[in-house]
């Protein structure tokens, strides 16, 4: 019988471990088949609150300037609403603009171009890489983070959305805008399709805590084999 495991956000120490793991270091691990999405997807998930399927679906056309602010346009998840989420400056500092130029130069359209869909969904491939499957260890295990803690609470890539939710709940309330919180989460409690004040959204997003200021995509591409 499968027990239902509750999800929990990552602790501050676990986040530190994840974003200082080998993906964000200088050394490739043995037999690692490095993909660009391994670097970018966990970062975008943490700083945007998006599900891995939504991130997998992102194309160049889903990067939009709204009121002069660069945003992700998420619109591919059936259960939550389309929304614009400003791009956190930590992503830009990690080489996001360079990466976009790389995608264009190689004539790709999807941001996670090297993430294939499995059974029509990107999240399945992400789940196996991040959490492992059967005997196969995932990124979590390789960072010595258990899938399930002593209380039976589970961590997975979707836990990053819970970390996002925890933080923006505080910053949106500090800005006196429950609407900003509901909109950024894609919740139905926000009943409109658009959010007029993008600078307010940006103010909320930019306060998300930076985990590792030293991560950079170029560093990832230059890692050497162990």
pLDDT digits (tens, 9 = 90+) for 24-37: 998 888 787 889 99
In a domain? residue 90: yes
In a domain? residue 75: yes
Q: How far is the CA of 28 from the CAs of 33, 86, 177, 225, in angstroms? A: 9, 31, 43, 5
Average the pLDDT over each of 8-12, 42-46, 134-138 and give the range with the smallest value.
134-138
Say how far apart CA 184 and CA 111 lie, in whole Å: 20
CATH value at residue 188: 1.10.443
Q: Token pair 């990053």 is at which residue?
A: 160
Task: Decide if pLDDT at 77 tops 80.
Answer: yes
Q: What pLDDT sits at residue 96?
A: 98
User: What number is the average pLDDT over the span 2-11?
Assistant: 74
DSSP state of 5: P
Number of structural domains the chain divides into: 1
In a domain? residue 226: no
User: What number is the average pLDDT over the span 192-199?
Assistant: 95
CB 56 within 8 A of CB 123: yes
Tokens of 101: 């130029």
Measuring CA to CA, which residue among 152, 185, 145 is closest to residue 169?
185
Q: What pLDDT sits at residue 5?
A: 61
In a domain? residue 223: no
Domain that holds residue 204: 12-210
In a domain? residue 48: yes
pTM of the shown model = 0.95
Say how far apart CA 123 and CA 85 lie, in whole Å: 20
In a domain? residue 63: yes
User: What number is the average pLDDT over the span 193-211?
Assistant: 97
In a domain? residue 31: yes
Say how far apart CA 209 and CA 46 lie, in whole Å: 10
In a domain? residue 5: no
The overall average pLDDT reported for the chain is 93
């Amino acid at each position: 019988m499968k027990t239902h495991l509750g999800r929990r956000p990552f602790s501050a120490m676990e986040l530190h471990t994840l974003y200082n793991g080998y993906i964000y270091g200088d050394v490739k691990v043995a037999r690692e088949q490095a993909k660009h999405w391994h670097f970018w997807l966990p970062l975008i998930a943490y700083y945007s609150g998006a599900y891995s399927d939504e991130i997998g679906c992102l194309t160049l056309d889903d990067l939009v300037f709204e009121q002069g602010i660069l945003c992700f346009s998420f619109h591919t998840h059936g259960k939550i609403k389309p929304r614009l989420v400003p791009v956190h400056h930590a992503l830009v500092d990690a080489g996001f603009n360079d990466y976009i130029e790389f995608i264009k130069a190689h004539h790709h359209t999807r941001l996670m171009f090297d993430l294939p869909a499995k059974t029509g969904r990107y999240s399945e491939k992400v789940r196996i890489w991040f959490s492992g499957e059967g005997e196969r260890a995932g990124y979590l295990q390789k960072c010595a983070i258990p899938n399930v803690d002593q209380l039976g609470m589970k961590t997975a890539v979707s836990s990053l959305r819970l970390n996002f939710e925890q933080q923006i709940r505080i910053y949106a309330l500090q800005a006196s805008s429950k609407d900003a919180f509901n909109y950024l989460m894609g919740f139905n409690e926000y009943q409109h399709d658009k959010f007029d004040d993008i600078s307010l959204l940006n103010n909320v997003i930019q306060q998300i805590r930076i985990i590792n200021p030293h991560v950079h995509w170029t560093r990832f591409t230059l890692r050497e084999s162990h």
